[in-house]
């Protein structure tokens, strides 16, 4: 029953999903923890006529950039979801005559048919959240349509707001809808509705005031940011509406626009226009009947919302806000898990080819990739993205390579990393043939010896304060021994990632091995470790994680003092053997995270799995569910050329934790 439950959750989270193409600018902003604001594309494909739509889309992106944030216009093109569009892509969707309106349910269809798709509020929220974007700027959200008691016409935007924690900055609910019933729906589904004003009067899109109220009102965006963060800390999954009244000088006369809307609604009923076509039709007719006034107003309120959204997004990533939030959290005895990671930071080069490479001295077509690597750095990166408080103890050269790594990874804490004036930054070259690493060549050099016993002693406090210590096999035996001694003194558990089969020898010391709580070897490293333990291994066991589990449980001496032994078998899956506090043993066999034909690069996938597994356990996820977080992290990394996927977020943990609490045992 347990294994079937694991498999079901895995299918739910890891089943076929659309490719996400995140633009380099958006990806860099997310990596660097800079402000990012999502923008929908339905307003381009269906809301405004050409060329006004293209002009508005370009202006919105310019406004967001002027506020020192990065715009991420979301659309579907060429069978892929695009998060962040290039100018040519914006022009293409603005000119598209056959574009379809894509709500959340339509994403798969649009991808399968390779259509041009403009994403609605619901679809944009969902996709923005998938990419880790927390703020989304739009015109007005959908809602309960007038006459919904007869038609049951309720926008999917409301359902998405009830389950996706993205802040939607808007001018309220579109005035063509039933605003009162929409607000009742949002209240029923626990959606924060905050009016950005000095008085609590909910705006009506074209007009600054209606007869309705929001949940609360404020003119302080820091207060809004704190509400969003508190909702996240509490595990509340609903989104937030920040309703921004249009400036007085821009609003259209309320009675005049209301009469036009009623006329357009009657016309839509007479023409039997239903579902997704209602809103575009009415907006078009309102613009025609108002002689263009409503379109001008629409564009101006979009700009106003984009500016406010940018300011809010900056607050949510700003150091002053995060420092205050962390202080509040500590005061309430809430804190992020602390992990100290010790080992190598390496600049990786990867030669990638899809050709059938032979050992014939020939040249093969492909490409060269440069990325941040190193086993310790990879773990520190992934653990940081998963919301842990990470101290990285490592070493880089005071050179261009080290500077490049730090700039690419400034979402991480580099305060304790040695910057050597004597030695160069370590490098590594891997050969990727059709998604698999055939072999690699490292040039770690002497910089690794700057991670010395003396350096460890200097940073003793970081081990004393850690919830877990993770080390890689690149560092010296002397440094590993000092870590073991310090960890024993402070009663801290150590995770050892060997990195290479011959580096397993470094923990076989009597002062070190008893301090290792978790080891995560691959097949070669496990075989070498078993031989060191005087246990002979039949290579046939490496064809299945179940064979590994049976083998270890038949040779318990291999577990030593380990709480967990995690053996990666690449395309054959992963085996996890656990020793519980009562000295009982359990075993999980996991399949590969994704199908082999979906793999872009295997580099860093194991490190991502380890980080997901560890972060989940430190956040209270049960043992039977923690591997699923690891699998998801590995799956995301396998589908990118980066050593750690930028799509790894704390949401992966909260989803599994929520599921494991609500599912039967």
What string of DSSP letters covers 381-394?
HHHHHTT-EEEEE-
Reported as a single tens digit per residue, the pLDDT across 57-105 is 999 999 999 999 999 999 999 999 999 999 999 999 999 999 999 999 9
| Residue 578 and residue 585 in contact, taking contact as beta carbons nearer than 8 Å | yes
Q: Lowest-pLDDT range, 22-36, 79-93, 234-248, 266-280?
A: 266-280
Q: How far apart are CA 328 and CA 309, in angstroms?
A: 24
pLDDT, position 243: 95
- Catalytically active residues are 40, 174
pLDDT, position 603: 87
What tokens appear for 583 in the block?
A: 């000295």
| Residue 126 and residue 160 in contact, taking contact as beta carbons nearer than 8 Å | yes
Which residue spans within 179-322 are E strands per DSSP? 192-196, 216-218, 240-243
Instruction: Kindly tell me if the per-residue pLDDT of 9 is higher than 60.
Output: no
Tell me the sheet residues that pair with 577: 565, 587
Which residue would you say has higher pLDDT here, 448 or 582? 448
Q: How far apart are CA 178 and CA 199, in angstroms?
A: 21
Q: Lowest-pLDDT range, 145-159, 179-193, 586-600?
A: 145-159
Instruction: Kindly tell me if the per-residue pLDDT of 5 is higher than 60.
Output: no
Q: Lowest-pLDDT range, 59-68, 155-164, 656-665?
A: 656-665
Q: How far apart are CA 135 and CA 95, in angstroms?
A: 27
Instruction: Kindly tell me if the per-residue pLDDT of 325 is higher than 80.
Output: no
How, if at all, do strands 167-170 and 117-119 pair? unpaired
Average pLDDT over the chain, rounded to an integer: 87
> Quick one: which of 451, 541, 627 has its CA closest to 5?
627
- The whole-number average pLDDT for the span 233-249 is 87
pLDDT, position 96: 94
pLDDT, position 431: 87
Instruction: Kindly tell me if the per-residue pLDDT of 292 is higher than 70.
Output: no
**Is 521 in a helix, a strand, or coil?**
coil
Instruction: Kindly tell me if the per-residue pLDDT of 327 is higher than 80.
Output: no
Flag whether the pTM goes above 0.85. Answer: no
Q: How far apart are CA 340 and CA 349, in angstroms?
A: 26
Instruction: Kindly tell me if the per-residue pLDDT of 333 is higher than 70.
Output: no
pLDDT, position 581: 79
pLDDT, position 252: 61
Instruction: Kindly tell me if the per-residue pLDDT of 136 is higher than 70.
Output: yes
Listed in order, the ranges of the chain carrying CATH 3.40.1790.10 are 13-250+296-324
What tokens appear for 553 in the block?
A: 């449980």
CATH number of the domain at 13-250+296-324, please? Answer: 3.40.1790.10
Predicted confidence band of residue 332 (pLDDT cuts 50, 70, 90)? very low
- For Cα atoms 426, 432, 435, give the angle at the middle one, nearest 5 degrees: 130
What tokens appear for 48 in the block?
A: 């405004």
| Residue 182 and residue 203 in contact, taking contact as beta carbons nearer than 8 Å | no
Q: Lowest-pLDDT range, 187-201, 265-279, 537-551?
A: 265-279
Q: Lowest-pLDDT range, 15-29, 84-98, 330-344, 347-361?
A: 15-29
Residue 596, φ and ψ in degrees, nearest 5: -55, -35
Listed in order, the ranges of the chain carrying CATH 3.40.1190.20 are 335-344+376-395+449-662
Which residue would you say has higher pLDDT here, 593 or 331? 593
Q: Which CATH number fits domain 335-344+376-395+449-662: 3.40.50.10860, 1.10.3720.10, 3.40.50.880, 3.40.1190.20?
A: 3.40.1190.20
Class of residue 546 by CB neighbours under 10 A (exposed 0-12, middle 13-18, buried 19+): middle
Predicted confidence band of residue 18 (pLDDT cuts 50, 70, 90)? very low
What tokens appear for 135 in the block?
A: 């703020």
Reported as a single tens digit per residue, the pLDDT across 611-649 is 999 999 999 998 889 999 999 999 999 999 899 999 999
- The whole-number average pLDDT for the span 318-346 is 66
Q: Lowest-pLDDT range, 5-14, 172-181, 238-247, 541-550?
A: 5-14
The DSSP line for 35-57 is -EEEE-SHIIIIIS-TTHHHHHH
Q: What percent of the chain has pLDDT over 70?
A: 89
Residue 326, φ and ψ in degrees, nearest 5: -65, -40
Q: How far apart are CA 602 and CA 604, in angstroms?
A: 6
pLDDT, position 408: 87
Instruction: Kindly tell me if the per-residue pLDDT of 660 is higher than 70.
Output: no
């Amino acid at each position: 029953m347990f294994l079937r439950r694991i498999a079901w959750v895995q299918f739910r989270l890891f089943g076929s999903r659309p490719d996400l193409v995140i633009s380099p600018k958006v990806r860099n902003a997310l990596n660097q923890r800079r402000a990012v604001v999502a923008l929908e594309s339905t307003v381009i494909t269906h809301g405004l006529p050409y060329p006004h739509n293209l002009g508005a889309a370009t202006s919105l992106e310019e406004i967001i950039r002027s506020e020192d944030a990065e715009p991420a216009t979301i659309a579907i093109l060429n069978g892929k979801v695009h998060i962040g569009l290039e100018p040519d892509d914006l022009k293409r969707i603005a000119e598209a005559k056959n574009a379809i309106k894509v709500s959340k349910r339509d994403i798969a269809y649009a991808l399968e048919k390779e259509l041009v798709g403009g994403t609605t509020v619901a679809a944009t929220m969902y996709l923005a959240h998938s990419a880790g974007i927390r703020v989304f700027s739009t015109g007005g959200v959908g809602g309960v349509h007038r006459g919904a008691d007869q038609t049951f016409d309720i926008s999917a935007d409301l359902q998405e707001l009830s389950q996706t924690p993205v802040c939607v900055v808007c001018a309220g609910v579109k005035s063509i809808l039933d605003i009162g019933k929409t607000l009742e729906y949002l209240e029923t589904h626990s959606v924060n509705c905050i009016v950005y004003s000095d008085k609590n009067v909910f705006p009506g899109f074209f007009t600054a005031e209606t007869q309705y109220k929001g949940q609360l009102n404020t003119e302080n965006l820091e207060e809004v940011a704190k509400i969003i963060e508190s909702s996240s800390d509490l595990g509340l999954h609903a989104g937030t509406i920040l309703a921004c009244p249009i400036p007085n000088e821009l609003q259209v006369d309320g009675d005049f626009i209301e009469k036009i809307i009623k006329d357009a609604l009657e016309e839509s009923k007479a023409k039997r226009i239903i579902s997704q076509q209602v809103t575009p039709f009415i907006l078009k007719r309102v613009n025609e009947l108002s002689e263009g006034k409503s379109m001008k107003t629409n564009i101006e309120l979009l700009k106003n919302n984009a500016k406010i959204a940018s300011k809010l997004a900056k607050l949510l990533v700003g150091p002053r806000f995060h420092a205050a939030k962390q202080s509040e959290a500590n005061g309430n005895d809430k804190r992020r898990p602390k992990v100290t990671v010790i080992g190598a930071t390496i600049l990786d080069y990867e030669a990638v080819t899809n050709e059938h490479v032979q050992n014939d001295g020939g040249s093969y077509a492909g490409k060269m990739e440069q990325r941040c690597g190193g086993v310790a750095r990879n773990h520190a990166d992934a653990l940081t993205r998963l919301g842990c408080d990470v101290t990285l103890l490592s070493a880089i050269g005071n050179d261009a390579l080290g500077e490049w790594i730090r700039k690419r990874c400034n979402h991480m804490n580099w305060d304790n990393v040695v910057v050597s004036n004597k030695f160069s930054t370590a490098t590594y070259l891997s050969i990727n043939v059709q998604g698999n690493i055939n072999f690699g060549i490292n040039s770690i050099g002497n910089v690794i010896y700057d991670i010395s016993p003396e350096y460890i002693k200097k940073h003793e406090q970081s081990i004393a304060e850690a919830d877990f210590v993770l080390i890689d096999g690149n560092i010296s035996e002397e440094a590993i021994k000092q870590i073991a001694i310090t960890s024993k003194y402070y009663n801290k558990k150590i995770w050892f990632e060997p990195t290479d089969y011959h580096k397993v020898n470094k923990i076989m010391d009597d002062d070190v091995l008893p301090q290792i709580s978790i080891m995560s070897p691959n097949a070669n490293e496990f075989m070498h470790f078993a031989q060191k333990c005087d246990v002979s291994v039949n290579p046939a066991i490496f064809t299945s994680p179940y064979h590994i589990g049976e083998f270890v449980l038949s040779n318990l001496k291999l577990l030593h003092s380990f709480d967990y032994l995690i053996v990666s078998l690449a395309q054959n899956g992963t085996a996890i053997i656990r020793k519980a506090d009562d000295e009982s043993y359990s075993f999980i066999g996991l399949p590969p995270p994704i199908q082999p034909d979906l793999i872009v690069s295997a580099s860093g996938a194991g490190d991502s799995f380890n980080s997901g597994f560890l972060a989940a356990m430190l956040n209270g996820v049960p043992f039977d569910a923690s591997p699923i977080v690891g699998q998801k992290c590995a799956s995301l990394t396998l589908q990118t050329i980066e050593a750690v996927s930028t799509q790894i977020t704390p949401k992966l943990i909260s989803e599994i934790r929520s599921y494991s609490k609500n599912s039967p045992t």
